Chain A
Amino acid sequence: EVQLLESGGGLVQPGGSLRLSCAASGLTFNTYALTWVRQAAGKGLEWVSVITGSGGSSYYAASVKGRFTISRDNSKNTLYLQMNSLRAEDTAVYYCMIGEGVWGQGTTVTVSS
């Protein structure tokens, strides 16, 4: 069974940084592109970023480009999202997922002073 497990969320002040992690199991990790999706309270699902299986290519939503960096360590079966210059509007539950429909349980990021 494929499992994704996020960690690293928390409370951070505006302008601060956080690094989210997503540990994967039950799959050949380096053959899957991995995606971060976020969901603000009471809102819909928003695509944030994706990275190819090799890690050679990555893409970002306009709302996070230049502030967030996606990466992966295929030796550790782990996906990351480095979030810098955080804003109140980044407050959300962050999920890692595989496009074919596997999701983690989410980790909550709150940006507030």
Chain B
Amino acid sequence: DIQMTQSPSSLSASVGDRVTITCQASQDITNYLNWYQQKPGKAPKLLIYDASNLETGVPSRFSGSGSGTDFTFTINSLQPEDIATYYCQQYENLLVTFGGGTKVEIK
């Protein structure tokens, strides 16, 4: 199985800050990586697909980059509504795997 190592597990930032989350795959997944936002009681919401493509309707302050094994997710100018847990997910093969999640809080 492909292991996904996501960091940090939590962070606290101020409104307007830039927030960065990283995800490292245990093997090359080219760009088969999604980033999700999950709020309590809700299903994960797709924000970024294929590592860097913004899902339709998602604000442009969210972005993703990377390929191979190292990926980055960025929120430019953190907003109060961005409080959530964020997950990366690889889909290079049938057995999708997830990062451990990053809980984002407002300082």
Contact = CB atoms under 8 A, between A and B. Distances in A.
B94 A45 contact: no
Contacts of B94: 33, 35, 50, 52, 59, 99
Most-contacted residue by chain A among B34, B36, B55, B95 (CB, 10 A): B95
Interface residues of B, number: 18
A53 to B, nearest CB: 10
B91 A59 contact: no
A56 to B, nearest CB: 12
B8 interface: no
Interface stretch (A15-23, A79-87, A102-110): A102-110
Given A47-B96, A52-B94, A101 B87 contact: no
A45 B98 CA distance: 7
Interface in A10-41: 33, 35, 37
A47 B44 contact: no
Provide the main secondary structure of the chain B interface.
loop
A4 B3 CA distance: 26
Contacts of A103: 43-44, 46
B98 A104 contact: no
B101 interface: yes
A97 B81 CA distance: 25
A35 B96 contact: yes
Given A103-B44, A104-B43, A106-B43, A47 B97 contact: yes
22 contacts: A37-B96, A44-B98, A44-B99, A44-B100, A44-B101, A45-B44, A47-B96, A47-B98, A50-B94, A99-B94, A100-B34, A100-B91, A101-B34, A101-B46, A101-B49, A101-B89, A101-B91, A102-B46, A103-B43, A103-B44, A103-B46, A105-B43
Interface of A: 33, 35, 37, 44-47, 50, 52, 59, 95, 97, 99-106
Q: Which 9 A-B pairs have the closest CB atoms?
A: A99-B91, A101-B46, A45-B98, A103-B43, A99-B96, A44-B101, A101-B34, A50-B94, A44-B100
